[in-house]
A and B are shown apart, each in its own frame.
Chain A
């Protein structure tokens, strides 16, 4: 188990770095797919089987494909490399500092004795059955609210991007 975790961890971090540093957006998307795959494996180690499947199907399968389509739409015919002059050159340094500070804080915060309240989690934790029951009874409000969010998103996208041309 530990070996599996270590491998997944390395893949996760490396692919994340690849996403952030790739020049070509398509390379970033591919790296992100790898990242999601590693994350799905990690979900499996956390006995969240349903979530792992969802991660692959929805995230990697739907969202990233959407990304690819948009990349294709936007950068057709041009070299999609950031070639224009950087208007905020100092941003990079500041961002790194901010990020490291955040990392330090989070790191300091998570150093505690997290005694797990359940030494042995229930066997069916994360199974589809449990998930379904919980989603439709205890957390049914969140479930319905999410449905509403999706509706709003659909309406919004159709309104915005469905227009033919922006009149000048």
Chain B
């Protein structure tokens, strides 16, 4: 085992936890800023350590790059052996770098953004908890601890979405997110049960080494149950309805959890379980289809939404769909690459939007914005960079990663997935530019006073992310796949070639043309000729309503699940609880009382009655004594 990694990897994991505990227990006694310092410092240190460990690992030979740091046994019950350890390889390192790096930038941003909030300390404690749980998720070396991390990020998400707990909408959104996440947790648990049933092992090393022992049908089932978990956590169809509502949380939370990291946990899961998915074609196919469908689905909805954060939420769902589709097809490196670039530009978009919202006093409706190019130039330019990146315009990062996925879709022979991806790309360009134009261009349409505050701790992270959004894609250039090489050590034994070095120029150009079409239509409809937009709105009213209400899925779920649940709960509260449940102790006490009344009749207070009772008792005792004596007795009768 590699000593350097073995020493520092646990530190990476436990630093954010230490930060959370420090803020929770010591923070209240220190000034407010101390909590911020503790929170940011712990994540920053974790990032530095991750960078060092990554540099170390990437200098080793590729076949040496998967390091299992066993830290002990958690539980050993019969055949079930759950250890506690860390699995450090290029795949987990990419995720760790993003979690700690982008996480640190967002922590820094929160210092300014949440500066006026009364629960400042709690915020940083929760954020540190999230970083710890997410790191646990990606660093575990067995499925059980991955599930613990999985649940942990669900918890952190619940706490942070419901951060403004005096808002009913926030609390309900947090509850919705948690419930849907738990559905995913159950899926993963069932997958773990199946794994244990077949190979009596829950660690990565154990399961992946013995994929031959499962049989394709079992592997398919495991893959599908893992997909259920991924779908819930990554907000894919059909368990996506929690993500738009999760925008009730503060903007840094949306940036970190619901854009850059937590929602990508599903992608990580599928990529990590590539030995399973490589041998379970049905499951892999399902993954890819779900991803493509979600990408297209979300892109259509994003075209009509008018809350800036909701548009970004749907775009997150759409981009995650791309990643899921990629890993479902077997293009793991492409999916991981898009994860990296997406983390940059999505966090950037959210944070820039956050600056706008902050300066407008909390306004999130783009119909009430406009004319912000001159008033908020920094926000505008950074948001624009993010928009161009996500649309997939070269040489910005989104182009390289999206194209890699579309390339792979064509190369691996999936015509429908390819078509869906291209269509989604066009729509993405359209609605993101629509967002840019409507929010920033034209005249200011809002009522709130524009109070522009320039906070360094908010602007520096945004600037860094903007730079990364520009150059981040250059890790994969035509002919020079640096990223693919970096990840090669993790995907040494896969079905399809992972290299992203080959570049299909025709496809790239074709996609670019569709993207350009999207941008131009947005420009046409929202800047040049608003009248055309009005006509289109009137003619396509039905479609517009459908998209505005997200295909009415929320209402469908309400009818199918929520309403019956409330009805059952109400019935239980009105009938079952007072009579059956509460009646039981009441009945018992009544029975005890009547029994007492009965026995009281014997207590006459007369001495002689007591004497009679004793005599009867003695007679009975004698009887029993004699029967047992005679039964086992040695005397002849």
- The verdict on A99 contacting B615 (CB below 8 Å), with A109-B626, A112-B635, A112-B637 known, is yes
Contact status A113-B626, CB under 8 Å: no
Q: B594-631: which residues lie under 8 A (CB-CB) from chain A?
A: 604, 606, 608-609, 612, 615-616, 618-619, 622-623, 625-626, 629-630
Contact status B615-A108, CB under 8 Å: no
Residues of chain B within 8 A of A108, CB atoms compared: 626
Residues of chain A within 8 A of B619, CB atoms compared: 98, 101-102, 105
A112→B608 CA distance, assembly (Å): 34
Q: Is B588 interfacial (CB-CB < 8 Å)?
A: no
- The verdict on A88 contacting B608 (CB below 8 Å), with A102-B618, A112-B637 known, is yes
- For A113, the closest partner residue in chain B by CB is B636
Contact status B608-A91, CB under 8 Å: yes
Q: Is A137 interfacial (CB-CB < 8 Å)?
A: no
A97→B7 CA distance, assembly (Å): 88
A112→B626 CA distance, assembly (Å): 12
A113→B633 CA distance, assembly (Å): 12
- For B604, the closest partner residue in chain A by CB is A88
Contact status B626-A105, CB under 8 Å: yes
Contact status B615-A91, CB under 8 Å: no
A45→B604 CA distance, assembly (Å): 45
A7→B615 CA distance, assembly (Å): 30
Residues of chain B within 8 A of A94, CB atoms compared: 612
A87→B636 CA distance, assembly (Å): 46
A108→B619 CA distance, assembly (Å): 13
Contact status B615-A98, CB under 8 Å: yes
Residues of chain A within 8 A of B636, CB atoms compared: 112-113
Contact status A88-B609, CB under 8 Å: yes
Q: Is A81 interfacial (CB-CB < 8 Å)?
A: no
Contact mask A69-104 → B, CB, 8 Å, 1/0? 000000000000000000110010011001101100
Interface size class of B (residues with CB under 8 A): 10 to 19
A131→B629 CA distance, assembly (Å): 31
Interface of B is mostly: helix
A49→B606 CA distance, assembly (Å): 41
Contact status A91-B609, CB under 8 Å: yes
Q: Is A106 interfacial (CB-CB < 8 Å)?
A: yes
Q: Is A111 interfacial (CB-CB < 8 Å)?
A: yes
Residues of chain B within 8 A of A114, CB atoms compared: 635
- For B626, the closest partner residue in chain A by CB is A109
B608: min CB distance to chain A, Å: 6
A29→B618 CA distance, assembly (Å): 27
Partner of A91, one of B612, B618, B622, B625: B612
B298: min CB distance to chain A, Å: 89
A104: min CB distance to chain B, Å: 9
Residues of chain B within 8 A of A91, CB atoms compared: 608-609, 612
B387: min CB distance to chain A, Å: 99
Most A CB atoms within 10 A — which of B606, B619, B625, B629? B619
Contact status A87-B615, CB under 8 Å: no
- The verdict on A98 contacting B626 (CB below 8 Å), with A112-B636, A112-B637, A113-B636 known, is no
- For A94, the closest partner residue in chain B by CB is B612
Partner of A109, one of B604, B609, B629: B629
Contact status A98-B622, CB under 8 Å: no
A112: min CB distance to chain B, Å: 4
Contact status A102-B612, CB under 8 Å: no
Residues of chain A within 8 A of B608, CB atoms compared: 88, 91
A21→B486 CA distance, assembly (Å): 112
Contact status A102-B615, CB under 8 Å: yes
A111→B626 CA distance, assembly (Å): 11
A94→B609 CA distance, assembly (Å): 10
Residues of chain A within 8 A of B615, CB atoms compared: 95, 98-99, 102
- The verdict on A95 contacting B612 (CB below 8 Å), with A105-B622, A109-B626 known, is yes
Contact mask B573-585 → A, CB, 8 Å, 1/0? 0000000000000
B405: min CB distance to chain A, Å: 95
A91→B615 CA distance, assembly (Å): 12
- For B629, the closest partner residue in chain A by CB is A109
Contact status B606-A105, CB under 8 Å: no
Contact status A88-B606, CB under 8 Å: yes
A98→B635 CA distance, assembly (Å): 27
Residues of chain B within 8 A of A109, CB atoms compared: 622, 625-626, 629-630
A112→B634 CA distance, assembly (Å): 10
Contact status A113-B616, CB under 8 Å: no
Residues of chain A within 8 A of B622, CB atoms compared: 102, 105-106, 109
Please name 9 pairs of A and B residues whose Cβ atoms are closer than 8 Å in the assembled complex, sorted by A: A91-B609, A94-B612, A101-B619, A102-B615, A106-B622, A108-B626, A112-B635, A112-B636, A114-B635
Known: A88-B609, A102-B615, A105-B622. 16 other contacts (CB 8 A): A87-B606, A88-B606, A88-B608, A91-B609, A91-B612, A98-B615, A99-B615, A101-B619, A102-B622, A105-B619, A105-B626, A109-B622, A112-B633, A112-B635, A113-B636, A114-B635
